[in-house]
Structure 1
Amino acid sequence: MQVNMRSISGTKKGHGVDSAYNDLVRLLERGGEFQVLKNTDSLTDILHLHTVDLKSLRLIRHFHKRGKGVVITCHMMEDSLDGSLSLPKFVVKYFGKYLYYFYRQGDRLVVVNPYYREELISKGLDPAKVSFIPNYADERLFFEVNEEKKAALRRELDLPLKAPVIVSSGQIQRRKGFDDFVACAQLNPDYLFVWVGGFSFGRLSDGYDTYRAIVADPPQNMRFPGIVDREVVAEYLQASDLFFLASFQELFPMSLLEAAKCGLPILLRDIPLYPGILFGHYYRATDVQSFSDWIRRICQDEAARRKGIEDARRLASIYSETAIYKQWKALYEELRPGRTTV
């Protein structure tokens, strides 16, 4: 089966949509049952869109006229712009209207968490068309390493061999809880805090001016490697002791999956999304002081550390290559004969 996979996420590096798109392409190619054509106008069995621009809209009409099925992965909702990009409210409002119009054109809509399935249904989209298939992090890039390899990576990355290393990754934005990450670093000067990522959308990134100043002149116990290749992201995760993400809003963070595949204990803000996708296999807190308390406990208490590692392994198993591939195969097979109406 041929799949035309379209995304322009690669024009901006260092964000989750681009990672999710590339990992899905590799997953399908390795399965051996799909021929994936990337960013082409060619007519294939399935059109799978990750980008909501006008060219994608034209492709939908082109495929539908010829009886072909269209899948749209819904990487964003209207509220995901809040705290991510500094945009006028009227722009966000009208973009939201366009976004849901665009989603209505798909034969199948894929959301990366069950919470947003309910949101799409509340906007009037057909429940039969909306499926939950989580993101997938490439297991050939993100995997556990032993203590010897971990020490070697720390030397290679110029990280301390003894001090605990707390890592986060992704875009630097207000929504990602960057302020709390910095505050926790200030409360724990004997720990090293590393944020791998940067300002993928430049000055449009919410909080850019304030955060840019911190990145340019960081506290002594903070590092900002910037936007790096994903192989390097994996190395920072493998060299660290704890993954800490204080986001206020997420869809299904790729960085979290990547950390789980690397066997890192995971500490997150307690938000409504996570119980339905992580099933309790993570540590949670609500404010800077409780984050800081958990950071020290996980790094100092062997039982807490071991539990965090086991939780990460359970998540890695739930969101394994085999499990996610089966879900995509089943979805594509539903549309194989051509356009299907439900």
Structure 2
Amino acid sequence: MKILLYLEAEDFLSRSGIGRAMKHQQRALDLMHIDWTKDPNEDYDILHLNTYGPNSWKMLKKAKKAGKKVIFHGHSTKEDFQDSFLLSNFIAPFFKMYLMRFYKAADLIITPTEYSKSLIRSYGINCPIIPISNGIDLAKYSRSEAKEAAFREHFKIKPGEKVVITAALYFKRKGIDDFAKVAEKMPDVRFIWFGYQNLWTIPGWIRRLVKKNHPQNLEFPGYIAGDVFEGAMTEADCFFFPSREETEGIVVLEALASHQKVVVRDIPVYNGWLDDQSASMAKDVNGFVRALRDVLDGRVDKTAEGYKVAQSRSIQHSAEELLAAYQEAYDLKD
């Protein structure tokens, strides 16, 4: 059995959650010793699509015509498209219709959580839908004094300075507005938003917030990967992720795998795998402030239980489930 992994616009998406999920798939296939390629010109048995662009549609039609099985990875829903790019809320209903063309044409759909499965099923999709976590490479996020030093040096972190971080695109859906409001209410704490988004693809108020309309204790250094970011994940005092909608939230898994204290918005996507024993949860700005104060003042530490969640969604577990999904797709009757 050979898998064709296809990610349209891979260079553009490499820094996104979808891009990281694609890398996780490659790692999982290697762990399971499954033959795979990214070259559409090679022979294959199953097409695993990660994107929904025009070239992806051509690949899907070509695969079906050749009698190949097609798996579509449900990274996206109408719900998590909203509150993102300019005009996204206006476009969202049409985006849903467009997505459904792919979902209806697939032989099997993989999606990261039971929550995202329920959304896709509510669209009227009848093919098998299997929830499989994007997975996390636990070893990659183990503590490293060198990486932590790289983070401290890069940001000139002072001794005793409290630092709260997050990582996301500049979207309202990601909670960028609440992140700024929380920072404003906690002027003694340093807030860092890792991530980048072309400023002309987002609403003007977010563009202005990123460029100048934010508290002095909040900074937007852009996209930073490697030692500095991985050092931040273990060295910062808390990872705060106020996203309003996710299909899973890979960065949350990365934080949990880093033995980091985590504060998230209490939203349905976490039902069944993340709870108030493994992460602090709140619903609004005042709740976030209280949760962060509890963490920063040492009253709350859920890192041990949080790491158990990361272990349960390790790349090894995801790899085993992915192998079973490929076998199910391969065995499906036309």
Deviation at 1:54, TM superposition (A): 2.3
Query: In the alignment, is the contact (CA less than 8 A) between 2:257 and 2:310 conserved in 1?
Result: yes
Give the 3-state SS of the residue equivalent to 2:305 in structure 1.
helix
Pair 322,243 (structure 1): closer, same or farther in 2 beyond 3 Å:
same
In 1, Cα distance between equivalents of 2:300 and 2:88: 44
Query: In the alignment, is the contact (CA less than 8 A) between 1:14 and 1:170 conserved in 2?
Result: no
The answer for unaligned runs of 5 or more in structure 1 is none
Query: In the alignment, is the contact (CA less than 8 A) between 2:24 and 2:315 conserved in 1?
Result: no
Could you tell me which amino acid in structure 2 is paired with residue 278 of structure 1? L
Query: In the alignment, is the contact (CA less than 8 A) between 1:107 and 1:341 conserved in 2?
Result: no
Match of 2:261 in 1: 265
Give the 3-state SS of the residue equivalent to 2:125 in structure 1.
coil
1:274-313 counterparts in 2 under 5 A? 274-280=270-276, 281-301=278-298, 303-305=299-301, 308-313=302-307
Cα distance per residue 1:196-245 (max 9 Å; x no partner)? 0021x54223x3x3233333345332222201235543222122111101
In 2, Cα distance between equivalents of 1:158 and 1:39: 44
Pair 62,241 (structure 1): closer, same or farther in 2 beyond 3 Å:
same
Identity %: 25
Match of 2:112 in 1: 112
Query: In the alignment, is the contact (CA less than 8 A) between 1:141 and 1:231 conserved in 2?
Result: no
Query: In the alignment, is the contact (CA less than 8 A) between 2:72 and 2:108 conserved in 1?
Result: yes
Pair 52,106 (structure 1): closer, same or farther in 2 beyond 3 Å:
same
Query: In the alignment, is the contact (CA less than 8 A) between 2:107 and 2:128 conserved in 1?
Result: yes
Match of 1:215 in 2: 210
Match of 1:10 in 2: 11
Pair 88,48 (structure 1): closer, same or farther in 2 beyond 3 Å:
closer
Query: In the alignment, is the contact (CA less than 8 A) between 1:264 and 1:309 conserved in 2?
Result: yes
Pair 324,231 (structure 1): closer, same or farther in 2 beyond 3 Å:
farther
Deviation at 1:255, TM superposition (A): 1.0
1:120-135 counterparts in 2 under 5 A? 120-126=120-126, 129-135=128-134
The answer for unaligned runs of 5 or more in structure 2 is none
Cα distance per residue 1:44-101 (max 9 Å; x no partner)? 0211000112222222222223332111101111121111112265533222112112
In 2, Cα distance between equivalents of 1:284 and 1:88: 27
1:120-269 counterparts in 2 under 5 A? 120-126=120-126, 129-145=128-144, 150=148, 153-199=151-197, 201-205=198-202, 207=203, 209-217=204-212, 218-269=214-265
Q: Once superposed, what is the RMSD of the aligned Cα atoms?
A: 2.2
Match of 1:63 in 2: 63
Deviation at 1:153, TM superposition (A): 3.6
Query: In the alignment, is the contact (CA less than 8 A) between 1:14 and 1:171 conserved in 2?
Result: no
In 1, Cα distance between equivalents of 2:28 and 2:231: 21
1:82-93 counterparts in 2 under 5 A? 82-87=82-87, 91-93=91-93
Give the 3-state SS of the residue equivalent to 2:11 in structure 1.
helix
In 2, Cα distance between equivalents of 1:290 and 1:90: 30
Give the 3-state SS of the residue equivalent to 1:104 in structure 2.
helix
Cα distance per residue 1:86-133 (max 9 Å; x no partner)? 22655332221121121111111011111121222222212x511100
Name the TM-score, length of structure 1 as normaliser. 0.89
In 2, Cα distance between equivalents of 1:202 and 1:149: 29
How many residue pairs align between the two structures?
331
Name the TM-score, length of structure 2 as normaliser. 0.91
In 2, Cα distance between equivalents of 1:195 and 1:44: 41
Deviation at 1:289, TM superposition (A): 1.3
Among 299, 302, 317, which residue is 1:323 paired with? 317
Deviates more, 1:20-29 or 1:283-292: 20-29
Could you tell me which amino acid in structure 1 is paired with residue 141 of structure 2? F
